[in-house]
């Protein structure tokens, strides 16, 4: 009875040893180079795509696939393995940020109006960046947005309401939704020679000149768009003032 029990235990030990040996042989039969080749193929794919999000996702996959290459060496390569994990984590973090930035943006009614008036070709998220450096303002009839003889510290994009431009007591014209109060002065940098008086309560977005200039200097695409709108705004004012002068002269 004791002999049979010992014989049974010996058979179990031999079977267990055989399984471990075969498992070790199976692991050793895997060529670690396959993993590094697969990872490099994914890197080639990553470098061939245009979208930065897909580039980072492919880079994460490439890093994870190459990990067994470092582990299956006769002596695991811990230093390159650690760096590969760090690179994978960094690309994964940046991929998450890109996904958050690409989520659909819902604009308010006023923000939609601003986009329609000025930033038609700008993605909603980018437009919200522009609005974030400004501030929403309201002004009642009789308030002055610009005073003659003073430097202009900010420009205001009118969303609703009216502002009258007056020079030496003479009315040059009225500005309404879509017009920018102070556009001519920000382009020239000169002191105001006119008064901008609110004639109908307005709702507007106001940007401080210094803040706006710093933002535009680091965002060339938006700077070009803003300059184009300022130029169109100025041309429209000159045309409107000329038409109103002719009308006044005729009457």
Q: Name beta bridge partners: 208.
A: 154
R_g over Cα of the chain: 34
Q: What per-residue confidence (pLDDT) applies to 187?
A: 57
> Does the pTM of the predicted model rise above 0.85?
no
Write out pLDDT tens, residues 56-87: 999 999 999 999 999 998 899 999 999 999 99
Does position 239 have pLDDT exceeding 80, yes or no?
no
Query: Which H or E run includes 201?
Result: strand 195-208
Q: What per-residue confidence (pLDDT) applies to 118?
A: 80
Exposure class string for 17-56: b at 16+ Cβ within 10 A, else e: eeeeeeeeeeeeeeebeebbebbeebbeebeeeeeeeebb
Q: What per-residue confidence (pLDDT) applies to 2?
A: 47
Weakest mean pLDDT among 115-124, 165-174, 242-251: 242-251
Q: What per-residue confidence (pLDDT) applies to 200?
A: 93
Write out pLDDT tens, residues 82-104: 999 999 999 999 999 998 878 88
Write out pLDDT tens, residues 28-62: 567 888 998 999 999 999 999 999 999 999 999 99
Does position 230 have pLDDT exceeding 80, yes or no?
no
Write out pLDDT tens, residues 176-229: 888 888 776 665 666 778 889 999 999 999 998 888 888 888 888 778 877 777
Please give the C-alpha separations between residue 78 and each of 35, 84, 166, 233, in angstroms, as whole numbers.
16, 10, 75, 63
Count of helices and strands (H, E) across the chain: 9, 6
Does position 240 have pLDDT exceeding 80, yes or no?
no
Write down the residue that tokens 């038609």 correspond to.
120
How many other C-beta atoms lie within 10 A of the C-beta of residue 140?
10
Write out pLDDT tens, residues 135-182: 999 999 999 988 888 877 888 899 999 999 888 888 888 888 888 887
């Amino acid at each position: 009875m004791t002999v049979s029990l010992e014989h049974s235990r010996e058979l179990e030990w031999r079977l267990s040893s055989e399984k471990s040996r075969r498992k070790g042989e199976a692991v050793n039969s895997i060529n670690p180079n396959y993993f590094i080749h697969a990872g490099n193929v994914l890197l080639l794919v990553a470098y061939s795509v245009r979208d930065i999000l897909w580039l980072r996702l492919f880079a994460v996959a490439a890093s994870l696939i190459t990990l067994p290459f470092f582990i299956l060496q006769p002596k695991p390569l811990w230093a390159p393995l650690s760096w590969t994990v760090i690179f994978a984590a960094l690309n994964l973090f940046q991929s998450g940020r890109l996904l958050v930035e690409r989520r659909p943006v819902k604009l308010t009614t006023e923000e939609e109006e601003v986009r329609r008036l000025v930033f038609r070709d700008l993605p909603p998220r980018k437009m919200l960046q522009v609005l974030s450096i400004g501030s929403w303002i309201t002004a009642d009839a009789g308030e002055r947005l610009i005073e003659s003889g003073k430097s202009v510290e900010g420009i205001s994009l009118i969303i609703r309401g009216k502002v009258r431009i007056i020079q030496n007591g003479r009315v040059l014209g009225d500005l309404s939704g879509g017009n920018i109060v102070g556009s001519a002065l920000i382009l020239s940098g000169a002191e105001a020679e006119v008064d901008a008086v609110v004639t109908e309560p307005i709702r507007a977005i106001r940007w401080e000149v210094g803040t706006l200039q710093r933002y535009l200097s680091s965002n060339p695409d938006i700077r070009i768009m803003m300059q184009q709108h300022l130029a169109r705004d100025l041309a429209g004012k000159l045309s409107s003032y000329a038409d109103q002068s002719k009308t006044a002269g005729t009457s």
